[in-house]
Every structure is written in C-alpha cells, then in structure tokens.
Structure 1
Amino acid sequence: MNLRTTVAVLGVAVLAAGCSTPKDGTATTSPPSTQSLPYGGAPKVENPLPDDVLSGDPCQALTPQQLTDQLGSAVPGKPDTSPVRACEWISPGTHGFIGLSFFDKNNDGLSNVYVNVRPQMKRFDALQPIQGFPAVAYSTQPGPNSPTCDVNVGVTDRLSFAVEVTPGSSKYGNVDPCPLAADVANDVITTLKRKSGR
C-alpha cells in the first residue's frame, strides 16, 4: 500500500459509520466520528500539539538540511494530488523517495489507522513514541526487506501525519525502510513542535 492508497483508506474509512455509498461507488461526506477517542487499540496522545499544527504547507515540514541528511540533497518538495494535503520529495541521484501527508481534518488519528489500515497490512508495528508522540509503522510486506514503509504519528487523538519512505538505489531492498521513515517522522515532529512554540 503506497501513500496515496493509505490516504484514500484513511480519508474514506472514517466516514464509513456516517456516510452512504450510492450505486456509483462514491462515498458521501459526513461529520467526524463521534466515538470516544482513542479506540481500536490505538494509544492516547498524552501531550497533544495544538489543533492547527498541521494547517501549514507539508512541503515546508522538512528543512533543506533534513532533506540533505535523508535524501543526499535538498530537493524541492512537490505538492501531491492526493485527497489530503501532501508533499513528496524524490532524489534525482538515487531515486530515494519521501512522501508526507497531513491528516488535519479530524479523521480520528491513529484510531483510524488501527481500525482501517492495520487489517490490510502484513506488517504493523507499534513504535516507541517519537518525541513523546505515539507512532506505528506498516507495510504490505511482512519483513524488513519491504521496498517501502509508512509511519503514521498521532499529534492529537484526532489528527495525525504519515510519512512514506522508499530507500534510494544503494539501499533499496538492503535496508529496512521503517526506521528510515521513523527518522523522517522525527524530523517532521521537530518542525511541528517549533511551529507550535514548544
């Protein structure tokens, strides 16, 4: 499952309880879930960031130095065309990839991930909190040699962001991409905390 597919699952799944699906297959929209958060086994975000922390441009969530550290060069971000605000970076030399999506529309955060993404994954790992924020890593491949990995981090009980990483050519298939995605998520949290004044 790539980031766009994950985005589609997370964006639509939270509406399932209160939406209808017409015969053409398109889901109608409805308010956010009214379930008590968290649910589905998801951990609580003990020290949430402000609700507007994901309101900025995701392409500004990684600094040039962070991009250089992660991809080898400070490549410009390209806004993604997915249903949520997203950005992607691709190294021209190694073809390493970073995708970042902000789920900032009260989509039930990690609860949504646990209930709707987890059943579809062959790998789903609860990570140690990243700077105090609960996170999960997941992939459609069961082992560490998956070509890509997503890490989703809850910044509040309702809001989260997702990072997808595909290693560059020298590391592709030889390193576990999930720790790489967690490193990028850590960089994003650093930026978000700075934005919120923490």
Structure 2
Amino acid sequence: MRRTVLIVGAVALTVSACSNPTPNGTPTPTSAGTSLSSSNPASTRPDIPKVGDPIDLTRFKQAPCNTLTKTQVEELLGVTADGKARDGAGPACTWVAPSTTRPLVSVVFSNEQDSGTARIYEAKGKSYQFLEPLEAVDGYPLTAYGIKDERSLGRCSAALGTSDTETIGVAAEQSEANVGIKDPCDVAREAAVRVLATIRGGN
C-alpha cells in the first residue's frame, strides 16, 4: 500500500500537467541532451527558478527506464533491480527492491509541456501543502512537493526542471530501516542527480 501511495504522489505531477497544456503545443523534437529555446509566460514570479539551458526529453520519454543505469539503481536502492515501465498520465518507470515494497525510486515524465517549475510553485497552499526548494542539480531547479509532507514516513517526490515548460518527476521511498535516519528528499535529489547525468549524456 505504501508503494502505491508514493507512485500516486509522483504521478500527480503529470496528471495536473495534462490538464493544462501550453497554448503553443509541443516543441519540435531533437536529439537527447541538446538545448531548446523555451519560454513560459506563467513563470513571471521572481521566486520561481528559471532554466538557462533547456534539455529535450523526447528520447527518454520513449524509454523512461533508460533514465537510470543498473549501477545507478544499485547505488540508490542498495540492490540491483529492473525497472518496470508504465504509461498512465505520462511515461514512467519504477525500480523497487526485489521481493519487497520498498525501497523504490520512480521517474515520471509528462505527455505534454507542463508549465515547468512554475506550476509547482503556483500550487503551493492549494494542491500542494508541502513545497520546499532543494539544492539545484548542476543549475537545474529541484523542488520537493506533495499533497502533504511525508518525509517522516520516508517518502519524497520532487520536480526537476529541465526547461521553463517541462519537469521530470522523481520520487523516492526509503527502506523502513532508514526512515528517520536520512531525509528522503536527499534520496530523491540523489536520484535526480543520476537521472540528469544520464539524460545529458544521452545514454
């Protein structure tokens, strides 16, 4: 049941994204890791971090389980695990320790542009009662968010801004032995660091 709750939290990012597509539609796809120009009229608030070097996500949306290598998954979970792809509100992949319901990591993409990090900030106090900026990943903004703060339960969902109009949802759930020992949002950030490295490397 805990696994289901976390995955629902991660998918919330793409569910709301699909209900509010940008008026300009989808950009022309290019190869993974290349820069795209992007603008987002909604992100005019000074507290919303901007993305100076946008990344095209097309290639990895087609194969979300390629966003983490086997080595990276083992570093995050402590064991090897195969990713399981799913496509609900958007392409996604979940890695979970074999024969358990946790720990796990999920990566979620939206089917369309989702207004980027601006959408997360604008939902603060509304859809998301919990919102906390995390340390940026090589200049790309990372924001922990949730319907409520579930860090005490060992769960954290975060949005990695890859452009001013797109984010990647990264969610982590700790093993029961690690709950309360390490901040699960630190684990989510560690996952985001690896996801970004893989995407920018085009692996």
Compared with structure 1, are the counterparts of its residues 175 and 3 closer, same or farther at alpha carbon in structure 2 (3 Å cutoff)?
same
- The answer to whether residue 28 in structure 2 is matched with residue 38 in structure 1 is no
Deviation of 1:117 (Å): 5.8
Distance 1:45 1:5 in 2: 22
1:48 and 2:54 aligned: yes
Letter of the aligned partner of 2:141 in structure 1? P
RMSD (Å), alpha carbons? 2.7
2:155 is aligned with 1:159: no
* Structure 2, unpaired ranges of 5+: 1-7, 27-38
In 2, Cα distance between equivalents of 1:133 and 1:53: 19
Alignment of structure 1 residues 61-76 onto 2, 5 Å: 61-76=67-82
Instruction: Please give the alpha-carbon distance, in whole angstroms, between the structure 1 residues aligned to 2:103 and 2:167.
Output: 23
Runs of 4 or more above 4 Å deviation? none
Q: CA 1:103/1:54 → structure 2, altered by over 3 Å: closer, same or farther?
A: farther
- Please list the CA deviations of residues 97-151 of structure 1 after superposition, one character each: whole Å capped at 9, or x if unmatched: 1111123522211112222366333321112211110110123444741431111
| Aligned 8 A contact 1:9 1:116 in 2 | no
Letter in 2 for 1:66: Q
Aligned residue for 2:178, secondary structure, equals coil
SS of the equivalent of 2:117 reads helix
Q: 1:160–1:5: structure 2 CA closer, same or farther, 3 Å change rule?
A: closer
| Structure 1 unpaired stretches of 5+ | 19-29
Partner of 1:149 in structure 2? Answer: 156
Check conservation: 1:137, 1:152, Cα contact below 8 A.
Answer: yes
Q: 2:18 aligns with which of 11, 22, 47?
A: 11
Which residue does 2:29 correspond to in 1?
none
Please give the alpha-carbon distance, in whole angstroms, between the structure 2 residues aligned to 1:140 and 1:173.
20
Q: Does 1:124 align with 2:131?
A: yes
Q: Is the 8 A contact 1:44 1:157 kept in 2?
A: yes
How many equivalent residue pairs?
A: 182
- The aligned amino acid for 1:48 is P
- Find the aligned partners of 2:125 and 2:52 in 1 and give their Cα distance: 22
CA distance in structure 2 between the aligned counterparts of 1:5 and 1:37, rounded to whole angstroms: 19
- Cα distance in structure 2, aligned partners of 1:103 and 1:117: 20
Distance 1:188 1:117, change over 3 A: farther
Q: Share of identical aligned residues, percent?
A: 21
CA distance in 2, matches of 1:121, 1:192: 27
TM (normalized to structure 1)? 0.78
Within 5 Å, give how 1:12-27 maps onto structure 2: 12=19, 14-15=20-21
